[in-house]
Amino acid sequence: MSQWIGTANQQYAPYAMEELRRLLEGAGFTQLAPGEVFLMNSPLGREETLQTIHRNEPIFLRHVQPVDRTIEIEGNASDLERLSDMVRHAVLTFEYKRTAVHVRRTSKTAFVYSAADTKAVLDAVLEEIDAEPVVQDPEVIIAIYAADKELYIGFGTPRDMLSDWPGGSVRFQREEGQISRAKFKLLEAERTFGLQYAKHQQALDIGAAPGGWTSLLLERGLRVTAVDPAELHPSLFAYPTLTYLKSNASDAKLKDDTYDLLVCDMSWSPMQMCRLILDLESALKKGATAIITVKLMHRKPLQTIRDVVSRLSTEFVLQKAKQLFHNREEITLHLTKK
């Protein structure tokens, strides 16, 4: 038996729990923050549970943390004292390691300390025991979830928790002149899927306007063909590596075997998107990478995803499907061209 805190995007926790039920027969669930955070009791031990999750990573599970300790909240300084003692007693887990402290809270928690104050106290304790408190690139994470009346604490690596961000809430800094927040989705996809866009040469951006994804790829040094009947942001035309086809993608004339990267973030129905991508697949090189968002417009998102993957499987191999933090009513697919 083992216990876990799971997190999904707002309103998608029921789907994450459904996926986990299929993986872990006999698992039980309690909602902690409706639609987003839940407590899971797994019938398997910690390592077996982790192996099962990593083998078939759920699409809608954004973050998971083990529950190694539970502290009843008293609502005063003793809560921080007990957290500090807990870290001291686990010295062998953190000694000489880059260690991050992640603190999340429910809105009604009796825990009175902010995430910043809690982290400051525990960072001082980590320094006492010869650990290195860090924010980025930790080797180990202390994850604390402050529920209404209890603190749930877990230790693990970023891989164990599916993310090195608190709750999987990936944050990027908005840049001056940034065309759209959609750029964050493509940045997060690069991190999540272990990609390096700069290794590609020719990219095809379908439904590109206003150009958030195109701008990132141009910045990375790619030659980009952007296809959309709507206008691109004027700043993009400063790049000589941009080709703009002002037309519907279905009417675009593209050379066969040209592109080694396809990106598509259109607000079309899933099946329309599939038809369009398959009509354009001849323009892609064998082994080309595709990053595609799938809009979840129906009440059965898991079935929608299965249908889309099945439809695209004639020409593409699915590498991973994930609802990213920056996805809303959608998921992101990472595929390669057969």
DSSP string, 76-101: SHHHHHHHHHHHHHTHHHHTTSEEEE
Write the CATH number of the domain with boundaries 69-168: 3.30.2130.30
| Sign of the alpha-carbon torsion through 98, 62, 331, 211 | negative
Q: What is the share, in percent, of the chain residues with pLDDT greater than 90?
A: 89
pLDDT reading at 298 higher than 90:
no
Q: What is the pTM of this model?
A: 0.91
Question: Mean pLDDT across the chain, nearest whole number?
Answer: 94
pLDDT of residue 174: 74
CA dist., res. 17 & res. 313, Å (int): 26
Which range among 51-60, 276-285, 292-301 shows the weakest confidence by mean pLDDT?
292-301
Write the CATH number of the domain with boundaries 182-337: 3.40.50.150
Mean pLDDT confidence for 11-33: 96
pLDDT reading at 180 higher than 80:
no
pLDDT of residue 251: 87
- Model confidence at 335, in pLDDT bands (50, 70, 90)? very high
Residues 6+ apart with CB under 8 A from 280: 204, 206, 249, 252, 254, 262
Q: Find out whether 126 and 132 touch, Cβ atoms under 8 Å.
A: yes
pLDDT of residue 177: 65
pLDDT of residue 178: 66
pLDDT of residue 244: 95
Mean pLDDT confidence for 203-214: 93
CA dist., res. 176 & res. 219, Å (int): 14
**How crowded is residue 93: how many other Cβ atoms within 10 Å of its Cβ?**
16
pLDDT reading at 165 higher than 90:
yes
pLDDT reading at 266 higher than 90:
no
**Could you state, in order of their start, the residue ranges of all structural domains in the chain?**
2-61, 69-168, 182-337
In angstroms, what CA-CA distances link 289 with 194, 204, 274, 277, 335? 12, 11, 16, 13, 6
Mean pLDDT confidence for 25-41: 95
- The one-letter code for the residue type at 245 is L
Mean pLDDT confidence for 83-111: 94
pLDDT reading at 299 higher than 80:
no
Strand residue runs (E) in 199-299? 202-206, 223-227, 242-245, 259-264, 284-295
pLDDT reading at 72 higher than 90:
yes
Mean pLDDT confidence for 91-104: 95
Residues 6+ apart with CB under 8 A from 149: 72, 73, 109, 110
**Of 315 and 170, the one with more pLDDT:** 315
Q: What is the share, in percent, of the chain residues with pLDDT greater than 70?
A: 99
**Of 78 and 268, the one with more pLDDT:** 78
The residue with tokens 């759209």 is 180
CA dist., res. 252 & res. 271, Å (int): 19
Q: Find out whether 98 and 134 touch, Cβ atoms under 8 Å.
A: yes
**Which phi and psi (to 5°) does residue 184 adopt?**
-65, -35
Backbone torsion region of residue 287, taken as left when φ is above 0, otherwise alpha when ψ lies between -120 and 50, otherwise beta: left
How big is the chain, counted in residues? Answer: 338
The structure tokens listed for 28 are 């039980």
